[in-house]
Amino acid sequence: MMATLSDSSGQFIATAFDDEATAALETAAKSGQCGLLTVELDRRAGDETPRVTIKRFQPLTDLAKRTRLQMTVRIADACTAQRIAGELMERRGSNGLVRFLIPMSSGGEAMVVVGRDFALDGEVGATIERITGEGSVDLSAMEPPKLALVG
């Protein structure tokens, strides 16, 4: 299968020989999905551009489901925490971690884990930031757990 694809650098023609990659590309093309390609580039002598061979296609929706996100929110007061908690209650049912950083009267901050089962994305971060103020939300991907061999 040959396909004309595009990215931030422009359009390019790619070839897929693997049945699994071809089926995934066909499905994505029919539904208008975006995805992450794993490719092999081969530049031969005399060619201006490399040949692109598609090895794998992963829809972005599948990647988003597997990526664990974490959000840390700086909270100024209890009223703000209640408003944010209300917003987050609608976002339960996934695997995102939410933490609040709350100022203490003695100085410093307390970190409170709100939960580990939230569906987080940039839109949720922007919504929370509108409540708490610019620069108060940190949304990032969680690192995978570090495993060690014991024995």
What pLDDT, on a 0 to 100 scale, did the predictor assign at position 64? Answer: 67
Q: What is the pLDDT of residue 48?
A: 78
Q: List, for the chain, all residue ranges whose pLDDT scores fall below the cut of 50.
A: none
Residue 26: DSSP 8-state: H
The beta strands (E) that lie in 1-50 are given as: 2-7, 10-16, 35-42
Q: At 145, is the secondary structure helix, strand, or coil?
A: coil
Domain boundaries, the chain: 2-64, 67-141
Question: Is the torsion defined by CA of 81, 82, 86, 91 positive or negative?
Answer: positive
The confidence score (pLDDT) of residue 6 equals 77
- The residue count for the chain: 151
pLDDT of residue 151: 64
Structure-token pair, residue 71: 């959000």
Rounded Cα–Cα distance for residues 134 and 136 (Å): 6
How many angstroms separate the CA atoms of 110 and 74, rounded? 10
Express each pLDDT in 55-86 by its tens digit.
998 888 777 667 789 999 999 887 888 899 88
Helices and strands per DSSP (H, E), number in the chain: 4, 8
Which of these, 74, 41, 37, lies nearest to 58 by C-alpha position? 37
pTM, full prediction = 0.59
Q: Which residue has the tokens 């009267």?
A: 105
Question: Quick one: pLDDT at residue 114?
Answer: 92
